[in-house]
Amino acid sequence: MEGVTILGYIAGTCTTIAFLPQVFKAYRTKSCHDLSAGMLVVFATGIFFWFIYGLLIDEMPIIIANGLTLVFALAIIALKWMYRRSGDSPCH
């Protein structure tokens, strides 16, 4: 494996793992009112396009990191939507 590819995996791991605490916190507290829905949608859209870009250039670090980050971003969007709709938590 080339050094550049290893660098890509390291970068992807860091940016993907950085999002996990927010997913866990939103799920645990059932609170995501401090998160902007607009930011989450724009972020998820950007990650989706990075994922597609990775597929088109066949770069596994980009595909894996952005695929996982997209799942996490969509999970937070879903939690924000579910908690707001249920009325059981302060996620507005």
What domains are defined for the chain? 3-86 (1.20.1280.290)
Give CA–CA dist 68/62, Å, rounded. Answer: 10
Q: How many CB atoms lie within 10 A of CB 64?
A: 17
Give CA–CA dist 12/87, Å, rounded. Answer: 36
**pTM of the complete model:** 0.78
Is residue 3 classed exposed, middle or buried when 0-12, 13-18 and 19+ CB atoms within 10 A define those classes? Answer: exposed
Model confidence pLDDT, tens digit, residues 28-71: 888 888 888 899 999 999 999 999 999 999 999 999 999 999 99
Q: Across the chain, what does the average pLDDT equal?
A: 87
- Residue 86: what pLDDT? 55
Average pLDDT (76-84) is: 86
